[in-house]
Amino acid sequence: MSTNEQNKFEFKAEIRQLLDILVHSLYTSREIFLRELVSNASDALDKLRFESLKGSEYANPELPLEIKITFDEKQNILTIADTGIGMTREELISNIGTIAKSGSSDFVKKLTEAKEDASNIIGKFGVGFYSVFMVAKEVNITTRSYKKDAVAIKWSSDGLGEYTLADVADDTPRGTTIEIHLKDDASEFAKQYRLEQIIKTHSNFISFPIYLESQKVNTVAALWCEPKSKITQEQYDEFYKFLSYDNSSPADSIHVSVDAPIQFNALLFIPQKNMDIFGFHKEEHGLDLYVRRVLIQHKNQDLLPEYLGFVKGIVDSEDLPLNISRETLQENAVFTKISKAVTSQVYSHLAKKAKENPDKYAEFWKEHAKVFKMGYGDFENKDKFVELLRFNSSLNEDEKGLTSLEEYKEKMRDGQKEIYYIFGPSRSAIEFDPLLEIFKRKGIPILYLTDPVDEFVLSSIRNYKDLEFCPANTKDTEKIEKFDDINEVSSQFEKLSNDDELQFGSLLAKMKEILGDAVLEVKESNRLTNSAICLVNQDDNFSATFQRIMRMANKDMGAPKKILLVNRNNKLVRNLISIFKTDSNSEYLKNMIIQLHEIAQLTEGDLVDPHALANRLLHYFEDSSDWFVTK
């Protein structure tokens, strides 16, 4: 190809869409384009340093690793140059011409809806480069790859739909230079004071020197290596914001310096808010790994387990070899020890917070519990994990309260060997559940589980200290009934006569006959205080949980079969006995029994199809409305 020949290319559709939004809709925080370009330059320098540590050959080894920003106020041009890894022609086409990451078109859609959040999210989704078109009417990238024989190449675009590629002079040095012709309304970005201010705000902690017109403007200090006593909270906050692109300060900053047996420093942060903004799980978890202040890997995922992925930060060690490859990290014994130590630092921080500042811990729980609870499979840390769990429970006054397992244990009744829990869609739904009645009567505390994952958590941890977890719908109530009533019930029901006693027995048999295979058994029970009936499980294991999850996934699965318990001291049940005595084949009786069973299924979240129930209810209302009509 001759030096002057130009090749035209079209942007992919999703990029055109993105550019359209960036150019036409986003006017706030336009300055973040500079943060994005500087962070790309810094990444390119990191990659080059990594190659050199591996001993690779590369072009222009004499060039220092740095970023140079220059501007021409008269012509409204801003230039950002780095001596990093550069790009070959193919890399340029694939890195700058497409959005590589999956789900990007979803992202573009969301970006349209969330205009003002743009500064927070642009960088996270790997579309940082394009933000330059918020301020540029023309961009020229000149780049030469570090590979010895790579040719230099120039990319140009006005951001409207096409870009061109052309070869350039062979003496172009290694690295990338981005020349931005600013829009008329973006001339502020060709001014010394403004550029300095932006770099200080967003790029102060870049670990390579940034020169603005040959003057170094960033601090270039590894904050984590400074003595803790010298660091202010503002500096921690600033570093966190730099690292995470979060606009708010972190909820917690954890600075760890360990010298023996292995040396490492860690600077860890817990964000105030769960950062998975759209629930995309696009935000990759991980900590930046440094060896002797050199960045070895962005977002290393093995330093912390995934369920502690809400933690942001960096880890730096002197005891790892500088040229360690990312592939062999996991097998490195020193690395494994560091990751264990970092994990236990996070645990002890959380434990301390839970103990010393329960309100703050509750805020943490509200934001990050969803991720944290996934730690139920980490058996190595089980003892610490269980102490950090929180549930709403009967010990709390409202749905906002939280109970730890330790508090439960303290408040339970003497001689209690189980921790009871009940599952439901919300606290108010649970409070209607007849299964709760016996716990209220006996003053036995009970955990209210409203997140389906809670049952998985309890099923995998199995026990807390010497206490087993037991669902409220257990069929073995002796363990509960052995406690005396704390809240007395004044029964206004007379004892059944001998004849009624017999009739009641036959009614139960009749109920089983009518319900057939829909129930396993129909039995009398005195676990209920007010309600007519309730449903309990055949086994106490967690099969019911799995059945529920299966049903949520696959609507065709029928309702689970349970045992129906009947309370003789209930007005409706007493009336049913009378009706049964008069006409054991009464149509009304039959319908009422089916209706009662379906209502119990509804309460337990087991009802597959509510149509029949709704229809029957309407008929009852139609009939009963007659009572109120004066004829």
Residue pair 555/477 in contact (Cβ under 8 Å)? The answer is no
Residue 227 CB, nearest approach to ligand ADP (Å): 33
Residue 128 as a binder of Mg ion (CB under 5 A): the answer is yes
Residue 350 CB, nearest approach to Mg ion (Å): 32
> Residue 128 or 560: which CB sits closer to ligand ADP?
128
Among 26, 59, 85, 165, binds ligand ADP (CB under 6 A): 85
Q: What is the number of residues in the chain?
A: 631
The stretch among 38-46, 410-418, 509-517, 603-611 that binds ligand ADP (CB under 6 A) is 38-46
Residue 129 CB, nearest approach to ligand ADP (Å): 3
Nearest residue (beta carbon) to Mg ion: 128
Residue 131 CB, nearest approach to ligand ADP (Å): 8
Residue pair 234/204 in contact (Cβ under 8 Å)? The answer is no
> Residue 40 or 529: which CB sits closer to Mg ion?
40
Residue 203 as a binder of Mg ion (CB under 5 A): the answer is no
The stretch among 77-85, 197-205, 319-327, 573-581 that binds ligand ADP (CB under 6 A) is 77-85
Question: DSSP of 533-564, one letter per residue?
Answer: EEEE-S-SSTHHHHHHHHHHH-TTS-PPPEEE
What's 266-334 look like in SS3? EEEEECCCCCCCCCCCCCCCCEEEEECCEEEEEEECCCCCHHHCCCEEEEEECCCCCCCCCCCHHHCHH
Residue 297 CB, nearest approach to ligand ADP (Å): 15
What's 152-164 look like in SS3? CEEEEECCCCEEE
Among 59, 111, 127, 544, binds ligand ADP (CB under 6 A): 127
Residue 67 CB, nearest approach to ligand ADP (Å): 9
> Which residues is 24 bridged to in the sheet?
none
Nearest CA-CA partner of 423 in 452, 442, 449, 384: 449
Residue 134 CB, nearest approach to ligand ADP (Å): 13
Rounded (5°) CA angle 376-378-384: 80
Longest dimension (CA), the chain: 109
Residue 17 as a binder of Mg ion (CB under 5 A): the answer is no
Local structure of 464: helix, strand or coil = strand
> Residue 15 or 338: which CB sits closer to ligand ADP?
15
Residue 136 as a binder of ligand ADP (CB under 6 A): the answer is no
127 contacts which partner out of Mg ion, ligand ADP, none, CB within 5 to 8 A by kind? Answer: ligand ADP
The stretch among 78-86, 165-173, 274-282, 612-620 that binds ligand ADP (CB under 6 A) is 78-86
Nearest CA-CA partner of 580 in 504, 514, 469: 504
Question: DSSP of 417-452, one letter per residue?
Answer: -EEEEEE-SSHHHHHT-GGGHHHHHHT--EEEE-SH
Among 97, 103, 126, 209, binds ligand ADP (CB under 6 A): 126
Site for ligand ADP in 91-120 (CB under 6 A): 95-96
Residue 128 CB, nearest approach to ligand ADP (Å): 3
Alpha-carbon distances of 142 from 9, 71, 133, 441, 501, rounded to whole Å: 17, 16, 17, 78, 95
The stretch among 38-46, 251-259, 404-412, 583-591 that binds Mg ion (CB under 5 A) is 38-46
- Rounded CA-CA distance 247/29 in Å is 12
Residue 44 as a binder of ligand ADP (CB under 6 A): the answer is yes
Binding mask 219-248 for ligand ADP (x = CB under 6 A): ------------------------------
Residue 41 as a binder of ligand ADP (CB under 6 A): the answer is yes
Residue 40 as a binder of Mg ion (CB under 5 A): the answer is yes
Radius of gyration of the chain (CA): 34
> Residue 143 or 394: which CB sits closer to Mg ion?
143
- Rounded CA-CA distance 540/522 in Å is 18
- Rounded CA-CA distance 84/113 in Å is 36
84 contacts which partner out of Mg ion, ligand ADP, none, CB within 5 to 8 A by kind? Answer: ligand ADP
Residue pair 94/155 in contact (Cβ under 8 Å)? The answer is no
Interface ranges with Mg ion (CB under 5 A): 40, 128
Interface ranges with ligand ADP (CB under 6 A): 36, 40-41, 44, 82, 84-87, 95-96, 126-129, 176
